[in-house]
Structure 1
């Protein structure tokens, strides 16, 4: 992996309560990486980023012996390393205590078994809630791979070429809400209604109607505002809550993969309402239950499934 060098560099040590399943987290991110913005190579997560007017390159690797992640910031953004550290802790879900989740699911024969198989599984976060919702809208009714391809096209249509340190295969910054709302998305590979939903969401964020990346999310308000936008349903809202707003109890229960997984395990739970009632037993960690169910399928398939 070639890094075009820059002068300003900062390194952060981000400690976490073990275990942390770094390989499965990288599999999740890698399967959904935004072409031109993110990449996962040789056990390292990379992305270009913008933070409070500064740009730069982020690279993150694990130091398993010391139970920490090593994050390296290149470029102007390195001067704000201390401020960025909290964002990175959220991105990689470093504050979660695995023992609490294990305790919650210990009496559940299914979830208990899944946690024993992957005790360090976390809920991958999102650098940007806006970016995450864009991807979820694009991903409606298409495969993870197809969504990744289309988001890559969006970046080239509306993104900004990164300045300073960058990866040879990640030279873009993700589009701003204003840029995406005004971009020409003809022949982007999505139906017209989905394009309208995407640009309607971008305009709502640009206008301040939805504070998607609020520093302190008001979850009931954000859920209501996001759900009120055309083309956005409960799955997108709950998926955003679990990853961008760090709601550990978010439940994307209308996800087809989740519904099928639950029905295969417990055939009497075929309908969403039945599964929703059953999920009450997994509170207050339902987002982690969802991750473990997705992960079981991904392990079996050897691919990134779910979310």
Structure 2
């Protein structure tokens, strides 16, 4: 990763369409196939692609729109290629990539503690270095979470694609050079007063999307990280249409809460029972995984693939 003075040096040379590459280091191990598999299954048409070991997506920042591409490089690094970002936006953009790919996780500590549980030890041996991918930004992750309520991942991504096609801005011409990328994810103001039930979802879920959009416009720090996970969950559950599953999933994906666990998640329950039998109880077993239940959950979800 280039230091801050280098960014300043590029201030006059970074122009629309400029392509710049950086290398972000991380502490190994990192299970790249699982990261890519997770992102591929959730790639929104027009916004994201995963192909040939590379994740590519559009972004919409205060400084402008562009494209970021992430791939694995030698020497425990990720290569990040950016198109269309101003020099001022680069440090924040790279910090966002580190967060999305969970590059700063204390994997040795996490895996050592989780491995005290025989099931987790088994899953960690299968996927050493498994990370917990996080959302690109608060609004997008909130929309993804609501769209995913009580339906399959594929169904949720289909709805997200319709949301993008209907309300997302098209990418500017100088960055329309990657196949499959046409739009940026919609902004909150684009959907706050819109009836989204026409996209093919229950009206109650469409109302929840609008409620969250308005809440985030009124309080951009609504999904800010907090130390008290339960207080954060309770605060989110006061919003219409947000229950414990949605709040814990948002805590896991957006807040980065290492101990968040959506206990009612059907896929987690299925994964545990496939591994330990039909009588296995997620709430009971999860006690052994604290304070790293989010990583335990990611291993369980990954086991289904």
TM-score between both structures, scaled by the size of structure 1: 0.87
Once the two structures are superposed, residues 148-201 of structure 1 have per-residue CA deviations (whole angstroms, 9 ceiling, x without a partner) of 111100011111111131323111111111112123424211011111111111
1:37–1:170 CA contact under 8 A, matched in 2: yes
| Residue aligning to 1:130 | 139
Q: Does 1:39 align with 2:49?
A: yes
- Counterpart selection for 1:190 from 201, 206, 230: 201
Task: Give the distance between the partners of 2:205 and 2:252, measured in 1 at CA.
Answer: 23
Secondary structure, aligned partner of 2:57 = strand
Task: Give the distance between the partners of 1:105 and 1:44, measured in 2 at CA.
Answer: 29
Q: Does 1:149 align with 2:163?
A: no
Closer/same/farther in 2, CA of residues 239 and 186 from structure 1, 3 Å limit: closer
1:44–1:59 CA contact under 8 A, matched in 2: yes
Paired positions, count? 287
Secondary structure, aligned partner of 2:255 = coil
Q: Does 1:174 align with 2:185?
A: yes
Task: Give the distance between the partners of 1:162 and 1:217, measured in 2 at CA.
Answer: 34
Task: Give the distance between the partners of 2:188 and 2:85, measured in 1 at CA.
Answer: 22
2:193–2:210 CA contact under 8 A, matched in 1: yes
User: How do 1:249-260 and structure 2 match up within 5 A?
Assistant: 249-260=259-270
- Please report how far the alpha carbon of residue 213 of structure 1 lies from its aligned counterpart in structure 2 after TM superposition: 5.1
Task: Give the distance between the partners of 1:13 and 1:136, measured in 2 at CA.
Answer: 30
Closer/same/farther in 2, CA of residues 243 and 77 from structure 1, 3 Å limit: farther
- Counterpart selection for 1:10 from 3, 17, 20: 20
- Please report how far the alpha carbon of residue 52 of structure 1 lies from its aligned counterpart in structure 2 after TM superposition: 2.6
Task: Give the distance between the partners of 1:50 and 1:238, measured in 2 at CA.
Answer: 26
- Please report how far the alpha carbon of residue 285 of structure 1 lies from its aligned counterpart in structure 2 after TM superposition: 0.8
Q: Does 1:290 align with 2:297?
A: yes
2:258–2:292 CA contact under 8 A, matched in 1: yes
User: How do 1:275-286 and structure 2 match up within 5 A?
Assistant: 275-286=282-293
Secondary structure, aligned partner of 2:149 = coil
Closer/same/farther in 2, CA of residues 47 and 212 from structure 1, 3 Å limit: farther
Task: Give the distance between the partners of 1:60 and 1:231, measured in 2 at CA.
Answer: 34
Task: Give the distance between the partners of 1:258 and 1:228, measured in 2 at CA.
Answer: 25
| Residue aligning to 1:111 | 120
2:195–2:207 CA contact under 8 A, matched in 1: no
TM-score between both structures, scaled by the size of structure 2: 0.88
Task: Give the distance between the partners of 2:182 and 2:271, measured in 1 at CA.
Answer: 38
Q: Does 1:85 align with 2:94?
A: yes
- Please report how far the alpha carbon of residue 224 of structure 1 lies from its aligned counterpart in structure 2 after TM superposition: 2.9
Closer/same/farther in 2, CA of residues 234 and 120 from structure 1, 3 Å limit: same
- Please report how far the alpha carbon of residue 267 of structure 1 lies from its aligned counterpart in structure 2 after TM superposition: 4.1
Task: Give the distance between the partners of 1:289 and 1:9, measured in 2 at CA.
Answer: 38
